[in-house]
Structure 1
Amino acid sequence: MPEVSIITPCFNSSKFLKETIGSVLNQTFTDWEWLITDDKSTDNSVEIIRTLSDPRIKLTVADKNGGAGHARNLSLRKATGRYITFLDADDFWEPNFLEEMIAFMKKENSELAYSSYARCNENLIPQIKDFKADKEVTFNNLLKTCRLSLLSSMYDSQRVGKEYFPEGSKREDHVMWLNLLKKIPVGKPLPKTMAKYRMHSTSISRKKKNILIDQYLVYKDYLEFSTVKSLYYTATWALNGFIKYSKFFN
């Protein structure tokens, strides 16, 4: 079995897919499997992936478009690696990402870790300061802001099991991390910039006003908090989100 399973959802990502592929193939740590699930792309993403002859790369084409959470879950069910990590089809890893993260987790005896990452435009040019991995992450502080980004995080499935994404929520990554942190006391920060995140102008995650309701439902429906408590955490999350991406603070 490979040491690491890389989980990638793909939907109409042909514009950036070759750079993402290159960032995985250039990893200094090579004992990995890469499970890509295409979510019924209408561009040539599948054709690009099928040109790859590396047996470590395993493509699944979904029967229907079910969203990123559904696509990740399809890959997760097939994952056999001890360490689980995520990379969207338009993001980028530094060549030593896997090597550094695994070494850090073993050194710290950590079940969950995350690194700093650069916040870039579509051409991978930094736009604001790097997001710093400078705080330990717990269930309680993750309620107020999601410090864990999929592209810069890793967990040990041998110790905590696989954690799946709730399907249908636009905040599926936040819910997944919260569920994981119910099982473990803390996630450890690796304060090195190990990845590059593309901040698209059309990205769902950047349209904060449009997802306040979805974030509220994280607390109200998935965590079953009271209305008042859910509103409090939604407001706190929104404020921290503004600070996280505002150029004034970065």
Structure 2
Amino acid sequence: MKKNLVSIITPMYNSGKFIKDTIDSVLSQTYKEWEMIIVDDCSTDISPEIVKSYVDTESRIKYIRTDKNGGVSNARNIALKNANGQYIAFLDSDDIWDKEKLEKQINFMKEKDCAISFTSYELIDEENKRLDKIVRVVPSIDYKTLLKGNILGCLTVIIDKSKLDFEIKMSGVRHEDYVLWLSILKRGYIAYGIDDVLAQYRKSLTSLSGNKLKSAMWTWNIYRNVEKIPLYKSIYYFINYGINGIKKS
């Protein structure tokens, strides 16, 4: 584990339309101690060629292609196994960071001496048009509060591995990022928020999380089958999840 290095975890599948903007947003970071690990989940479009053109000139960008399509959780776990950094950041292959995102967030985490942090972000469409929607953060959040709704945007989260005594790994359960955040906070950690818009989340037509009914079913499954929460408590958290979802949208 290399001190102060940020390992950026980027799963990719057929992102030829967006991956250039994603990589360029990393290259423009004012914080320079990073590595970007792009795991190509058997793309069939031009995205591998685009990434390889960057790899040829930028040693901090690593390209790994899977033997078979295994889904986003598997791709992220491959990247995590190959990560060398003290810090783990997540950036999907169609999302974008503000150029000061890493610098501001790493400085914030050092000041707070915290294990996990997240920031506000805004929504854009497939043509990079702002959708006039900003998802704001709270100053801090614990396990029980997070059960009421996932407000940690995956593209904004950074984890300090040096403060954890367990392996960071995505589960095969849908909403795998939510499961990971819960597994960290369940151990007593607090996630701290930065109310600066430091990332842009692309609201695409094919977005997995775009289907609200499926998302609700996945959340319920996490309550009952992952977190093993009793029925009456699950109903309580699910009602709050619904209310917070309405506010979020």
CA contact (8 A) 1:4 1:82 kept: yes
2:178 to 171, 174, 180: 174
Aligned to 2:107: 103
Aligned to 2:247: 243
Q: Would you say how many aligned residue pairs link Structure 1 and Structure 2?
A: 244
> What is the CA-CA distance between 1:226 and the residue it aligns to?
2.3
2:38 to 36, 43, 46: 36
String of CA shifts for 1:5-61, please: whole Å, max 9, x gaps: 000000111101110010011111111111111111111111111111211111111
1:129 to 2:133 alignment: yes
| 1:173 aligned partner, one-letter code | D
When residues 232 and 134 of structure 1 are mapped into structure 2, their CA distance, relative to the original with a 3 A threshold, is closer
CA contact (8 A) 1:76 1:162 kept: no
1:221 to 2:225 alignment: yes
| 1:85 aligned partner, one-letter code | A
Aligned to 1:159: 163
Classify the secondary structure of the residue corresponding to 1:133. coil
Aligned to 2:49: 47
Percentage identity across paired residues of the two chains: 36
Matches within 5 A, 1:192-203: 192-203=196-207
Matches within 5 A, 1:130-145: 130-145=134-149
> What is the CA-CA distance between 1:237 and the residue it aligns to?
1.5
Classify the secondary structure of the residue corresponding to 1:189. strand
1:119 to 2:123 alignment: yes
When residues 60 and 187 of structure 1 are mapped into structure 2, their CA distance, relative to the original with a 3 A threshold, is same
- Aligned counterparts of 1:202 and 1:97: Cα–Cα separation in 2: 26
CA contact (8 A) 1:208 1:238 kept: no
- Aligned counterparts of 2:215 and 2:5: Cα–Cα separation in 1: 36
CA RMSD of aligned residues (A): 1.4
1:10 to 12, 17, 41: 12
| 2:221 aligned partner, one-letter code | L
Aligned to 1:248: none
Given the two structures, how large is their TM-score scaled by the length of structure 1?
0.93
| 1:68 aligned partner, one-letter code | V
